[in-house]
Structures are given as C-alpha cells and as structure tokens.
Amino acid sequence: MESNSKIELNENFFAFVKKHLGEDAMRLRLKKFGDIDFPIELAITQIEARGRRLERKIPLWTANERIVFPSILSTEQCSSQETAQYKANLVVGQSLCDLTGGLGIDTFFMAQQVKEAVYIEQNTLYSQCARHNFDELGAQHISVVNSDCSTFLTQSTQTFDTIYIDPARRGKSQERLFALADCEPNVLAMMPTLLKRCKRLIIKLSPMVDITMLRQELACDNAIHIVSLNNECKEILAVIDTDKETAETTKCDITCSVITRSKGVQTYKFDPMAEQNAVQTIANDLKRYLYEPDTAILKAGMFKSVCQRFGVEKLHKNSHLYTSQNLVAEFPGRSFIVNEVLPFSSRLCKEFAKQYKCCNIATRNFPLSAVELRKKLKCGDGGDIYLFATTIGNNEHILIMCNKS
C-alpha cells in the first residue's frame, strides 16, 4: 500500500521562494510572473508559511530551505518540535504507525525511536510533501501511504508496536469539538481494531477535553499525559497499553509534563484517587512567597496533591494560588515574592494609580476580570510588578503585589 509518489519540484521553485522570502503573499498572488515551470501557488504558500515565525515552532524543519509546507493550515495544526519530541519518548518497540499524518512533524520525531514507521494521510498533496520532506531529512525508513486510516486498517493486516492517532477536532462548520466520539475519525468506534493491532496506542486530544469524561469514554486502563509548553496547555495524550507484560501505564496515572525552553521537560505524576483522599491545606495568612501553578497542573485538577507534594498552602479552596514562608524552588509553575497585601475596596481603587503606575494584572477567584479590574484601578500594563486579585480563606477579596522570585 506504500505510495512512493512525491511532489516534483525543480530548482526554480526553491530559487523563487528564496528570492521572495519576506514579501507579502497577497501581493505576490496578484502579480504576473510570465512563464514558470513550477507550481506558483505552492511556492507562495512557502513564503507565507515561513513568514509566520515557524522557526520557533519547528526549528529543525525551517532550517532546511528545501522543506515544503503543503498549506498554511498544516503549519497551524501541526505539533511543535518540543511536543513532538515529548511524544517520541512515549513510543515503544521498533515499529510505529501514525494514522493521521498531516504535516508529518509527529511522525518524523516519533520515527526516530523505531526501525520502521508508516505515515498515513488521505490528502494527496500532504502525503506527497511528506515523502519529499522525509527524504530531505534522511528519514527513508518512513513509508508514506496516501489513504484514510479506516481504509488502511481494513485493507492491511499489519500490526505495530505503537500506533498514534490525532483525530480532527473541527466540525463541518469549523466549530471546535472536544468529545472523542465527535472527532474524525471516531476513535471510540475504531478502538477494538486499534487495540488488536498494537502494543501501545497513543491518542492526541484537545487541551479542552474533560479529563474525567475522557476516562469514562475510554473505559480501559490508561495513563493521561497533560503537556504544556511555556505555560500554555498544548496537548492531552491518552496512552493505552495492550501488552500487559511490558505495560507501564496504570489506570490512575496523570502525568503533568511542563516544558519550558529554559528548563526543558519537568514531569510530575499524580494519582487521582490520592487527590480525592488528600487533605487540602488552607493558609491562615499570606506568607512570603506566592505560587501560580502551571497550566498542566491546573488542567489535571491536582490541587490538594500539590499542597502535600510541595509543602505549600492554598489561599482558598477555590483560589488556585499557593503560599509558603520558604521558597519551594521545584514548584511546577511561577513563583513570586510578596511585597504587599491590600484589601480590595472602592477607596483603594481611587488611590491605587498614585502608587502603582503600571503592573501585570491577573485575577483568580475574584468577582472582576483582569480587564475590568484594570479599568477600576486606572493603571497601565507591564513593568516588574505583578498584581494577583483573589479571594483568601475568610472569603475576603485582596490584591497581592509581587515581584518574580
């Protein structure tokens, strides 16, 4: 079933892209270039794609001038290099199948862990570009199949150590979809077949998916990985092992993986059952240090476990901010030194801007949004001061003035 078809591009194509890099794509589309011997629209797409700062998202690919992007949408939907490399560490065995190939970023990085890999993609242009790109990157051990994944699974009896699937999360009207059964393809309907064909199944899900509902939908032993990049929740991954002898997952594992460009990957494993039984420690007063959990921790909902794991106290049962007298350097998130604690009042709002001309405002469990609060305080945005408006244990609304620790 392998397709060896790849897009044929001559040197004039790459010379055109290089010459016009940085120019406005819309204006280029309106120009007449006379006789050309390459696909001009695809060439302009390269210029447009490379003008969108892709070098931060996928630096290894953008560093190669001969990598071809089939569409702008493919660059918007693809994984970042950091999250693709994270998924590569979840691959087991020596064979891999990516059932929803897309641009091929995930396939490429995960394939570095195995001897043979198969990329499945129903879009012909995408699969042609993928073959071209894999060859340019020296990944000839990746087979490219131009087919939808359901057809591939029906026509092939091949089994794999790892299968990866990233169902489309957009409806016909481009609305966002979160439930597994609503995505395309329907992974739940395919599950019996998928589990027969691999030792490990990795499913990529929307960052907005409800973790509790997800576990109920899967109805089998699984581990959940919540991946954030620079404090933005990027991916939820469900990992299901069918080989019980080598299985590393358990039904109760939630792994929060915090990726930053300064510290790399930091992982924190939690047990949801332990979270239910944990004691939530509420602070009597605000101490020297304030902590804001990373988005991966917030998504996991392991609020009580954080208290026990790191020896910090929560400001309020519904305020997901923490405090301690001594600095907890390993806390998964941002830490601040508390300068001043102000009770929120109308009088304070009138006088605030006299002392603080500008600050960075965030609200947590507070009756006003950050935008609404800034209007009331009449202060500018930015600077070194951080203001957290929140509610403490006695239900008092306060403003916490901080600097980053």
Same domain, 316 and 358: yes
Residue 62 lies in a domain: yes
Residue 57 lies in a domain: yes
Q: Average of pLDDT values for 391-405?
A: 93
- Give the tens place of pLDDT for each residue, 224-245: 999 999 999 999 999 999 876 6
Q: Is the pLDDT of residue 120 over 90?
A: yes
Which range, 147-151, 167-171, 212-216, is most confident?
147-151
Kindly provide the b/e burial profile for residues 386-401, where b requires at least 16 CB atoms within 10 angstroms of the residue's own CB: bbbbbbbeeeebbbbb
Boundary residue ending a domain (75, 96, 120): 75
- Strands 333-343 and 289-293, by their bridges, are antiparallel
Same domain, 192 and 131: yes
Question: What one-letter code names the amino acid at 44?
Answer: I
Same domain, 105 and 241: yes
Question: What one-letter code names the amino acid at 119?
Answer: Y
Q: Is the pLDDT of residue 178 over 70?
A: no
Same domain, 133 and 248: yes
Question: What average pLDDT does the chain have?
Answer: 91
- Please say whether the beta carbons of 389 and 397 come within 8 A: yes
Please enumerate in sequence order all residues whose Cβ is within 8 A of that of 305, keeping only pairs 6 or more positions apart, or say none: 270, 271, 274, 275, 278
Give the CATH number, domain containing residue 260.
Answer: 3.40.50.150
pLDDT at 4: 61
Same domain, 259 and 283: no
Cα dihedral: 370, 372, 377, 380 (round 10): 60
Q: Average of pLDDT values for 47-51?
A: 91
pLDDT at 172: 53
Same domain, 317 and 241: no
Residue 171 lies in a domain: yes
Same domain, 126 and 255: yes
Q: Prior bond to 185 cis, omega within 30?
A: yes
Question: Counting every residue, how long is the chain?
Answer: 405
For the chain, the maximum distance between any two Cα atoms, rounded to a whole number of angstroms, is: 76
pLDDT band, residue 402 (cuts 50/70/90): very high
Q: Average of pLDDT values for 143-155?
A: 94
d(CA 224, CA 218): 11
pLDDT band, residue 43 (cuts 50/70/90): very high
Backbone angles phi, psi at 362, to 5 degrees: -135, 145
Q: Is the pLDDT of residue 46 over 80?
A: yes
Q: Is the pLDDT of residue 117 over 60?
A: yes
Long-range contacts of 113-118 (CB under 8 A, 24+ apart): 113/88, 113/89, 114/141, 114/161, 114/162, 115/141, 116/141, 116/143, 117/141, 117/142, 117/143, 118/2, 118/142, 118/143, 118/145, 118/158, 118/160
Query: DSSP letter string over 43-56?
Result: HHHHHHHHTT-HHH
Q: Average of pLDDT values for 284-288?
A: 93
Residue 265 lies in a domain: yes
Residue 374, classed as helix, strand or coil, is: helix
Nearest to 304 by CA among 292, 317, 291: 317
Q: Average of pLDDT values for 17-27?
A: 92
Same domain, 261 and 289: no
Query: DSSP letter string over 107-132?
Result: HHHHHTTSSEEEEEES-HHHHHHHHH
Same domain, 31 and 128: no
Percentage of the chain surpassing pLDDT 90?
A: 74
d(CA 232, CA 234): 6
Q: Is the pLDDT of residue 171 over 50?
A: no
pLDDT band, residue 386 (cuts 50/70/90): very high
Q: Is the pLDDT of residue 1 over 60?
A: no
CA 282 and chain centroid, separation: 31
Q: Is the pLDDT of residue 355 over 50?
A: yes
pLDDT band, residue 41 (cuts 50/70/90): very high
Q: How much is the pTM?
A: 0.91
Question: What one-letter code names the amino acid at 249?
Answer: T
Residue 187 lies in a domain: yes
d(CA 351, CA 149): 63
> Structural domain of residue 195, as residue ranges?
78-270
Same domain, 102 and 139: yes
Same domain, 262 and 350: no
Q: Average of pLDDT values for 311-315?
A: 95
> How many C-beta atoms surround the C-beta of residue 150 within 10 A?
16
d(CA 115, CA 135): 16
Residue 316, phi-psi category: left (phi > 0), alpha (psi -120 to 50), beta (remainder): beta
d(CA 324, CA 302): 18
Residue 148 lies in a domain: yes
Tokens of 213: 């509902």
pLDDT at 176: 57
Residue 4 lies in a domain: no
Boundary residue ending a domain (47, 75, 103): 75
pLDDT band, residue 278 (cuts 50/70/90): confident
Same domain, 134 and 213: yes
Q: Where is pLDDT greater, at 172 or 19?
A: 19
pLDDT at 319: 93
Residue 182, classed as helix, strand or coil, is: helix
> How many C-beta atoms surround the C-beta of residue 72 within 10 A?
13
Q: Average of pLDDT values for 301-310?
A: 92
Residue 367, phi-psi category: left (phi > 0), alpha (psi -120 to 50), beta (remainder): alpha
Give the CATH number, domain containing residue 21.
Answer: 1.10.10
d(CA 236, CA 116): 26
- Strands 160-165 and 333-343, by their bridges, are unpaired
d(CA 212, CA 194): 22
Boundary residue ending a domain (28, 60, 75): 75
Q: Give me the residue label for tokens 């002898």.
A: 245
Q: Is the pLDDT of residue 113 over 90?
A: yes
- Give the tens place of pLDDT for each residue, 125-134: 999 999 999 9
pLDDT band, residue 151 (cuts 50/70/90): very high
Q: Average of pLDDT values for 138-158?
A: 94
- Give the tens place of pLDDT for each residue, 62-87: 999 999 999 999 999 999 999 999 99
pLDDT at 34: 83
- Please say whether the beta carbons of 395 and 366 come within 8 A: no
Please tell me the chain's helix, strand, coil percentages from 3-state DSSP, rounded to the nearest 5.
Answer: 35, 30, 40
Residue 1 lies in a domain: no
Number of domains, the chain: 3
